[in-house]
Amino acid sequence: MLLSALLLPLSACGAGREEARFDAFRDSLTDAAVTVTAEVTARDGEDVTAFTLSCTETDAGCDIEVLAPEEIQGVRAHLASGEAQMQFDDLILPMPQAEDAVSPLMALPMVLSAARTGHLDLVWQEDGLVCQLVPDDDSAVRIYLNEDNVPTAAEVDVGGHTCVFCTITAWSTEKSDLHESNDTNLGGDQP
């Protein structure tokens, strides 16, 4: 009994370090625009589709481009304020989003949004750091960080089912004013 009481604070210290590590990752996104490339696999029942996608944050939202498969290489989508448009050559079409699913094209913007603003629900060690974020009531995003705090993978759950897996092959940040911190000085030194 005494041993359990002594070990409990030690386990809490580990969780605190993991949360601090996630906080450092989230802080690295402040004042930065992210570009991510990933192999995205979506499951819908028995159907499995795979794509290689690139997603770049812009001042007007996110630009997504299909890099593979070759048959649809070059298809682009733009996401702004929850609305999406798909573009191929000069053709631009609205792209509806189902309430109970995540399209592969929407997965990377969802991962970026969750990384910035999702509630940190769980964090644990598993070949690096795994951070489970809750962006809304019906979905969860797990981001896998390597020892350098760089994302290597992500999973998107909707309605309790993992529907999209992302193997991140490139992640870069560039200084930007897209996501500036709005912290104000509340130190009381102002009249």
Asked if the bond preceding 109 is cis, omega within 30° of 0, the reply is: no
CA distances from 61 to 1, 57, 82, 129, 140 (A): 54, 6, 9, 28, 21
Q: How many CB atoms lie within 10 A of CB 164?
A: 26
Question: What are the domain boundaries of the chain?
Answer: 15-174
Range with lowest mean pLDDT among 3-12, 38-47, 164-173, 174-183 = 3-12
- Amino acid, res. 80: A
pLDDT greater than 70 at residue 14: no
pLDDT band at 190 (very low <50, low <70, confident <90, very high): very low
Average pLDDT, the chain: 83
Break the chain down into helix, strand, coil percent, rounded to 5: 25, 50, 30
pLDDT greater than 70 at residue 27: yes
Average pLDDT over residues 63-90: 85
**Per CATH, domain 15-174 is 2.50.20.10:** yes
Q: What distance in Å separates the CA atoms of residue 85 and residue 186, rounded to the nearest whole number?
A: 41
Q: What distance in Å separates the CA atoms of residue 45 and residue 178, rounded to the nearest whole number?
A: 37
- Amino acid, res. 125: Q
> Is 112 or 82 the better-scoring residue by pLDDT?
112
Does the model's pTM come out above 0.85?
Answer: no
pLDDT greater than 90 at residue 43: no
Q: How far apart are the first and last CA of the chain?
A: 55
